[in-house]
Amino acid sequence: GAVVSQHPSWVICKSGTSVKIECRSLDFQATTMFWYRQFPKQSLMLMATSNEGSKATYEQGVEKDKFLINHASLTLSTLTVTSAHPEDSSFYICSAEKGLAGGFVSEQYFGPGTRLTVT
Amino acid sequence: QKEVEQNSGPLSVPEGAIASLNCTYSDRGSQSFFWYRQYSGKSPELIMFIYSNGDKEDGRFTAQLNKASQYVSLLIRDSQPSDSATYLCAVEERNRDDKIIFGKGTRLHILP
């Protein structure tokens, strides 16, 4: 199997506060994890690529000082939304990459997502 | 700019019929291709991946890849109402640390 969990599944916070979201691969080790954001009725938008033991790679337009990513182990990556504002309200989804035998193809398995509402 | 294109739909298919979902991609060097299903309010779920030209079958699902035409499709046989979802085509970008580029998705509606 390939199970990825996220915590919390939903969170409501006040404007100006920070929120941490955890992403865990439960039954495999993931050197690489990805963080996505999805607004209602829109497609997934990759925010950043998280590599264990190194700095995350952020996509253009994503503020690295606002969206802090830490990939401390092969099974855990965290995304911290700092000084959250209402426009940060979204569905945040992580995925973890699992390599297949032979190393030619790797699959991404998604966590269940975290719905963030900033009031 | 590498792109993955899908018709946004909605695609309406009668129950029991074959649903055909199509996707084109711009990076000729892409090697791996994925289909994800996403129900409203949920995260994507991997259905199939394919990396060789031709067909790959798994149950009611068949993925088809034509690298010369830069085209990948997903066929769903004996469509069920539970297949109603958004289907995301994804392509692994070459030389970018396994970054996957997603299409915007096709909404599929199976008519009971």
**Percent of chain B predicted with pLDDT > 70:** 95
State mean pLDDT over B84-95.
87
Can the peptide bond before residue A86 be classed as cis, meaning omega within 30 degrees of 0?
A: no
In this complex, which of A44, A51, A105 lies closest to B102 when CB atoms are compared? A44
C-alpha to C-alpha distance for A85 and A61, rounded to whole angstroms: 16
CB atoms within 10 A of CB A63: 10
Q: Shortest Cα distance from A64 to chain B (angstroms)?
A: 18
What pLDDT shows up at residue B92? 85
Instruction: Check whether B64 has a pLDDT greater than 60.
Output: yes
Asked if A70 reaches chain B (Cβ–Cβ under 8 Å), the answer is: no
Interface of A with B in 95-114 (CB under 8 A): 97, 104-113
**Between A61 and A42, residue with greater pLDDT:** A61
Q: Residue A12's closest CA among A112, A88, A93?
A: A88
Q: For residue A107, name the pLDDT band (cuts at 50, 70, 90).
A: confident
Per-residue pLDDT at A12 exceeds 70: yes
Q: In Å, how far are A46, A57, B71, B73, B92 from A94, measured between CA atoms? A: 9, 14, 27, 25, 17
- pLDDT the model gives residue B105: 94
Q: Tell me which of B94 and B110 has the higher pLDDT.
A: B110
C-beta atoms surrounding A118 within 10 Å: 20
Ordered DSSP codes for A43-102: --EEEEEEETTS--EEPTT--TTTEEEEEEETTEEEEEE-S--GGG-EEEEEEEEEEPTT
C-alpha to C-alpha distance for A32 and A30, rounded to whole angstroms: 5
Per-residue model confidence as pLDDT tens digits over B8-60:
889 999 999 999 999 999 988 888 899 999 999 899 999 999 989 999 999 99
